Chain A
């Protein structure tokens, strides 16, 4: 009769919680790990301990940072240069996507979610007060709201706009409309409506 090893079972359970992995893939990973104890388990365990000890979420800009770095409202450990723009995104994944494009050079502010209609999530959980403070304490000319084109994302954008009313900083938000490669015939009503509503003049030569 097959006897289960509790340590292995526990590890399989934990690994299967990762995105994209189920119990079968987790078992394969565990097998790979147990077969390469010195090369994989040891450095992996050490790195995980280091990450657990040293990596925290910055409570000013919302980015992940080393616990040794000192962030203040004026200085951000994530960027060495001084910028006059802040791009507000919902989560770190959004920031990574924008950053990988290389089209934006400036500070980021990660909210850590959106205002929700259903669960009465408090606005304090989102880093909106620290955004207002950052705008006030730095020479920021523009705040770019890069929240999702969903009802929750747009409500959050309106809320931020209201919170920043007193600072008189320029607030802009990402355009909504036709996606690149989108054929009008196959577009949904909402996208087409936004495209028509936000249409712009054709640039002349």
Chain B
């Protein structure tokens, strides 16, 4: 079988001397892996950077076998963030999250569009971290872990109060009010840290611990950037 698609590079691992096994999140085929022959060559290595958008041409004998990719670059995304510690950790964290939560070979067009939009915001917006927080919440909703913050909130926010109480799994938790009312006037580093920490705890309880996974270091690093 053979197909052509576009996708974002999630991870790469060396295979043999000259080849690489890549994992990509594609528009029409979801998350899938394949071998790139000659992936360590100077030409291909240049654009096989995590987060880059690539054109993919996959050939494989059948669904149960690992196919091989022919790739071309569409958009080099990662070099934009080389100098920015926070943004590079944010990109790392988002890729890691996609790699962890997405099932293999199941198309998720909506998540692909969300991720694509988020990368645009990461490149050009000054409020990229807000976009990241909402991207994580939307991702969780799409995969069936909706936090329902609006219906779960028990105390209302006002302009002075930056925090709001929500009940999740019979537990009262204080979260930054912008996560519910989407008013972004009084946001500071501390509120961003609380928001990241809240989603991080949710991820840990619902996804990482039940699946026996470690909390990703990239996300810990991102949180520590705002501590």
Contacts and interface: CB of A to CB of B under 8 A. Distances in A.
Interface of A: 19-20, 115, 117-118, 120-123, 149-152, 154-155, 158-159, 161-162, 176, 188-191, 193-194, 197
Given A20-B17, A117-B11, A191 B88 contact: no
B184 interface: no
A191 B49 CA distance: 12
B78 interface: yes
SS of B interface (majority): helix
Contact of B46 (A120, A151, A155, A191): A191
Contacts of A161: 85
Nearest to B42: A179
B158 interface: no
Interface residues of B, number: 31
A184 to B, nearest CB: 15
A189 B217 contact: no
B88 A189 contact: no
A193 B83 CA distance: 12
Contact of A117 (B75, B79, B214, B218): B218
A190 B46 contact: yes
B76 A193 contact: yes
Contact of A120 (B17, B47, B51, B216): B216
Nearest to A21: B17
A91 to B, nearest CB: 13
